[in-house]
Amino acid sequence: MFMWATSFLSLVLLFPRHAAFSISKFFRFLDFPINRRLITRHARNDGETAFLNAANQTPLNDTDVLVVGGGIHSLIYAIHTAKLSPGRTINVVEKAGSPSYKIGESTLTTFGLWLKTIGIESPMLWRLFGPKDGLAFYYMPQNGDPENYTGFCANGPPGDFVPTLQIERKISELMLTLIAQRMGVNVWHGHSVDIDNTVLADGGSKVPVAGKQVNAKLVVDATGRFRRFASKEARLQRFDGWNTDAFWGYFECPVDESEIPLDHYESVNTNHICLPEGWAWVIRLPTWEGSSIKNLTKMINYLLDLNYAGVPADEIPSSLELARMFGLKFRWVVSIGFALRTDTEYPADLSSYGSCEAEQRFNWITAKYPKMAGLMSKHKLVRDLYGPGTTWYIRKNLTYVSPKVTGNGFIAIGDATGFTNPLYSPGINANMGTSVAAAELTASYLDSEDAKGRAESMQKYEEYCNGRVDGLHRMNVFNYVLMRSPQLGPLGPLWQYLSGTGMPGWQKMRTYDFNTAGDILKNWDWGAREPEYAEFADSVIKMLPGKPSEPVDPEIEQLILNMSDAKVKELVAGGKFKNRWAGLLRWYNDSLIRSETKIDKDILARRCSKCTNWRLLTGDRKCATCGAMNKQELSQKVMYN
Ligand SMILES: Cc1cc2nc3c(=O)[nH]c(=O)nc-3n(C[C@H](O)[C@H](O)[C@H](O)COP(=O)(O)OP(=O)(O)OC[C@H]3O[C@@H](n4cnc5c(N)ncnc54)[C@H](O)[C@@H]3O)c2cc1C
């Protein structure tokens, strides 16, 4: 096998013109995880890299902060630090030649809030990204009976407050790069750090980057799940019990979404199809794939200018108008993938379900649940959306935690500190806390005159991170075990909304600005560490051991339902957790009592009367996608009650 691979690579070196195509085919055939890395390297467009790097204001020299990795947390951190510590030099180095494909598309209120606090408003964001109005869940029974499923549905924040978005990561990272560069942060693409030859030291590290040595007072490990510096400090830890594997692809929905056979289905929600084995996400988002980085950059810079000038939303060109103005490709796709427990029992032979592992697993689990199969029958696979060999993706053992997040002269942020699962999108939205906390630490670290002061800053950050991923892991397990029964499933999101949006800090959301939002951004994790939540989740997890295929004992099921009813009643009456529950949630009243006839909730989104794409209702009439002017009365949100 090794010989075979070596001969193949020699051929590639001899015939580089065909390399990207051939490599992708070869590794797709082997279902080998290295393929995308090789393709990216071969497909790198040096002209685009130079174009992006030319916007940096100074050369890459010795720096106060060197951020290794140019992903979403790196850029959030760099922008936040630039605002908190003006005058400090910040350099971000990213090994990819330009922002490129990543999974992680659904964002929540905290990300929208942070964007707002740095001056980025909804109208420009809705031109670049998909609008999102909350989360919907469908819970399927073990036998797949399509008549016996339950649901849960919650709105997102109103569009006139902050946007929640479905983001294509190439575009979000490009937008954040341009914002950072405007603030004086240098973002260097095509710059790989030689980790093994980096000498980390308190107060000053020596880092080899792209053929030169950069001295940095503080190094930030923002290398995501690769944990390039954190991994040298300590091996990653896994939790006891099952982990989860994800596999996914991209689809089109050629029919009107009203044909999708799920009650109240709206593609403006992040939709979750929950099964005893785990769940599927269904996320509709626009893609600009196929557009050049140069033209995308020009468009985003144009939008940033309009944003900072405060141009009214109805005067900003729509996505389709922008695509025409800047020579870009724009279309809607649907990201659909599963995150299943590793104790899922797959048939020994899946070969009839597809040609690679991701496709086989995807098609097998889809076929097992008629409602999921019904949903997929309305979608059409998009092949190779993000380049050759990118039709199917798989990532295994998603959950891990970095036991140490600081070391001599470095701190880790984002996924380099740990990750659990895409359920409830903690990756960007809860992990944002690490980027914000690290930015605050940076200010005190750089201001410290001596090693003791710097060590104290590092210690504070270790304490901040301690227990974060553990809390998210408990939240994840709690929700997964409840998915084994459609009667229990909705208790998962019910407790998330109770704890995560009922908590006191959340109620003050509308009052926050850059100077006051730090606490909620650092500490919001869906309420996963609120003591009342933790206690209930722990007891439910203990009551539901067993494999996904094992039916839940009806007595245990009833006991959990009764426990939850009593506890929720007590907590709502106690007044610690407050919200306009009836406006926020379908099927629940203000006391969080469920009724199958209470269908209505706040109306925060409608479909455009011309192109039928979803619009968040703010009073503005222009459709962000097609530019049609909708009627005023169909552009206002309608509050329940
Ligand atoms: C299946 C799945 C679905 C998900 N869905 C969601 C979701 O819907 N919502 C959500 O919030 N989160 C989601 N996530 C999580 C989300 O993808 C991550 O939390 C997020 O991308 C982490 O960002 P990051 O900046 O920490 O790391 P990354 O985005 O991985 O960035 C790390 C960067 O470091 C660079 N790098 C690595 N080594 C070097 C080096 N030596 N030199 C220079 N650069 C280097 C890499 O090229 C990369 O660009 C999902 C995750 C998975 C697995």
Give residue-wise pLDDT tens across range 71-98: 999 999 999 999 999 999 999 999 999 9
Ligand 1 atom nearest 96 alpha carbon? 47
Say if residue 34's pLDDT is above 80: no
Q: Give me the residue label for tokens 């005159």.
A: 449
Q: What is the pLDDT of residue 32?
A: 35
Task: Tell me what the mean pLDDT of segment 552-580 comes to.
Answer: 97
Q: Give me the residue label for tokens 């790989």.
A: 192
Q: How far is the CA of 121 from the centre of ligand 1 (A)?
A: 24
Q: What is the pLDDT of residue 8?
A: 41
Q: Give me the residue label for tokens 């192109």.
A: 611
Which amino acid type is present at position 116?
K
Q: What is the pLDDT of residue 38?
A: 39
Alpha-carbon distance 571 to 532, whole Å? 8
pLDDT band for position 13 (cuts 50, 70, 90): very low
Residues with CB under 6 A from ligand 1: 68-74, 93-96, 102-106, 192-193, 195, 222-224, 226, 228, 246, 337, 395, 398, 414-415, 419, 422, 425, 427-429, 431
Q: What is the pLDDT of residue 594?
A: 96
Task: Express each pLDDT in 401-434 by its tens digit.
Answer: 999 999 999 999 999 999 999 999 999 999 999 9
Contact 214, 62 (CB under 8 A): yes
Q: Give me the residue label for tokens 């997929």.
A: 376
Task: Express each pLDDT in 453-483 by its tens digit.
Answer: 999 999 999 999 999 999 999 999 999 999 9
pLDDT band for position 505 (cuts 50, 70, 90): confident
77, 334, 428: which to mutate for ligand 1, most atoms within 8 A of CB?
Answer: 428
36, 53, 72: which to mutate for ligand 1, most atoms within 8 A of CB?
Answer: 72
Q: Is 507 helix (H, G, I), strand (E, B) or coil?
A: helix
Say if residue 9's pLDDT is above 90: no
Say if residue 225's pLDDT is above 80: yes
Residue 244, both tokens:
């989860």
Alpha-carbon distance 479 to 562, whole Å? 17
Nearest CA to ligand 1 atom 37: 223
Ligand 1 atom nearest 419 alpha carbon? 19
Q: What is the pLDDT of residue 542?
A: 98
Given the DSSP bridges, would you call strands 212-221 and 63-68 parallel, antiparallel or unpaired?
A: parallel
Calculate the CA dihedral of residues 70, 161, 303, 312 and round it to 10 degrees. -170
Ligand 1 atom nearest 106 alpha carbon? 8
Task: Tell me what the mean pLDDT of segment 323-339 comes to.
Answer: 98
36, 39, 41, 94: which to mutate for ligand 1, most atoms within 8 A of CB?
Answer: 94
Q: How far is the CA of 35 from the centre of ligand 1 (A)?
A: 17
Average pLDDT, the chain: 93
Q: Which of 588, 491, 592, 474 is nearest to 534 (CA)?
A: 474
Q: How far is the CA of 634 from the centre of ligand 1 (A)?
A: 38
Alpha-carbon distance 514 to 527, whole Å? 22
Say if residue 567's pLDDT is above 70: yes
Tell me which of 33-47, 542-556, 564-578 is least confident: 33-47
Given the DSSP bridges, would you call strands 605-607 and 418-419 parallel, antiparallel or unpaired?
A: unpaired
Q: What is the pLDDT of residue 203?
A: 85
Say if residue 11's pLDDT is above 70: no
Alpha-carbon distance 348 to 160, whole Å? 51
Task: Tell me what the mean pLDDT of segment 531-539 comes to.
Answer: 98
Annotation marks residue 132 as catalytic: yes
Say if residue 603's pLDDT is above 50: yes
Say if residue 50's pLDDT is above 80: yes
- Count of beta carbons in the 10 Å neighbourhood of residue 148: 12
Write down the domain spans for the chain. Answer: 2-41, 48-100+168-236+403-465, 468-586
Ligand 1 atom nearest 426 alpha carbon? 11
Class of domain 48-100+168-236+403-465 (CATH, top level): alpha beta
CA–CA distance from 601 to each of 154, 347, 426, 582 (Å)?
A: 8, 42, 25, 6
Alpha-carbon distance 285 to 268, whole Å? 9
Task: Express each pLDDT in 129-166 by its tens digit.
Answer: 999 999 999 999 999 999 999 999 999 999 999 999 99
Nearest CA to ligand 1 atom 15: 427
Q: How far is the CA of 66 from the centre of ligand 1 (A)?
A: 18
Ligand 1 atom nearest 248 alpha carbon? 1
pLDDT band for position 449 (cuts 50, 70, 90): confident
Residue 624, both tokens:
């962000």
Q: What is the pLDDT of residue 6?
A: 41
Say if residue 22's pLDDT is above 70: no
Residue of 25, 102, 116, 132 marked active site: 132
Ligand 1 atom nearest 413 alpha carbon? 26
Q: Is 195 helix (H, G, I), strand (E, B) or coil?
A: coil
95, 413, 526: which to mutate for ligand 1, most atoms within 8 A of CB?
Answer: 95
Q: Which of 346, 371, 373 is nearest to 358 (CA)?
A: 346
pLDDT band for position 36 (cuts 50, 70, 90): very low
Top pLDDT among 12 and 300 is at 300
Alpha-carbon distance 145 to 508, whole Å? 43
Long-range contacts of 84-88 (CB under 8 A, 24+ apart): 84/439, 84/440, 84/442, 84/443, 85/439, 85/442, 85/443, 85/446, 88/64, 88/442, 88/446
User: Between vectors from CA 304 to CA 301 and to CA 306, what angle results, nearest 5°?
Assistant: 115
Say if residue 21's pLDDT is above 50: no
